[in-house]
Structure 1
Amino acid sequence: MKITLVKKILADGSPCAKCRDVQQKLEENDQLRFIDQTLIADMRDEQSPGLQLARKYNVERAPFFVVEEEGREPQIYTVYFKLVKDVLQKKAEESKLAS
């Protein structure tokens, strides 16, 4: 399973407030270790990797997560708490069992 986090940089160059909040929650809950890749959707650069991914999946909110599992369609999460419930809790449990 691969989890990509996409955060936004606003047109004025400042980070998106909601993205900062979600990043902080991921750090506080020791969940950042489950994020394989972080991309930036830079509103000043139409070719930024995060904006390209947002266009590919038709996502207009940030932050968002792309969860890829082999043999399945990628799942898009625009709500942090839904990602935690559906994905990160299971990964945390698997991590505990493996150690």
Structure 2
Amino acid sequence: MKITLVKKLLADGSPCKKCGDVLQKLEESGYMSRIDEVLVADERDPDSAGIKVAAQHNVNRAPFFVVEEDGKAPVIYTVYFKFVKEVLAQKTSETDELKEIMNDNPDLDYI
């Protein structure tokens, strides 16, 4: 299995806030060692590796993970806790997962 993390640099050169949060979580949990490759989607460079991978997989948010296994189509994860739960086989709370989804989609509202 190959795991690629794509993080974003904003047009002003600063890292996106969510990318920083996810990187911190990966480091603190020790999961960073399970990431095989980190690519940067640089808004200032349309030819950056991360921009190309995002376009290839039709992803318009960062950070995201590309999980590749031999003989299978790549699987894209845009929700950190879902990635941890499904790929790293760690227990995450449904509350954390839903909170991340709500933070990523401010247009959604509670039912």
Alignment match, 2:103 = none
Q: CA deviation at 1:16?
A: 0.4
Q: CA deviation at 1:77?
A: 0.2
Percent of paired sites with the same residue? 64
Which consecutive residues of structure 1, in runs of 5 or more, have no partner in the other structure?
Answer: 91-99
Alignment match, 1:24 = 24
**TM-score normalised per structure 1:** 0.89
Give, as a single letter, the amino acid of the residue that structure 1 aligns with 2:7: K
**TM-score normalised per structure 2:** 0.80
CA distance in 1, matches of 2:38, 2:48: 12
Alignment match, 1:69 = 69
Give, as a single letter, the amino acid of the residue that structure 1 aligns with 2:75: Q
CA RMSD in angstroms, aligned pairs only: 0.8
State how 1:35-74 maps to structure 2 within 5 Å. Answer: 35-74=35-74
Give, as a single letter, the amino acid of the residue that structure 2 aligns with 1:43: E
Alignment match, 1:97 = none
Number of aligned residues = 90
CA distance in 2, matches of 1:33, 1:89: 15
Which consecutive residues of structure 2, in runs of 5 or more, have no partner in the other structure?
Answer: 91-111
CA distance in 2, matches of 1:22, 1:88: 14
Q: CA deviation at 1:58?
A: 0.2
Q: CA deviation at 1:89?
A: 2.1
CA distance in 2, matches of 1:88, 1:79: 13
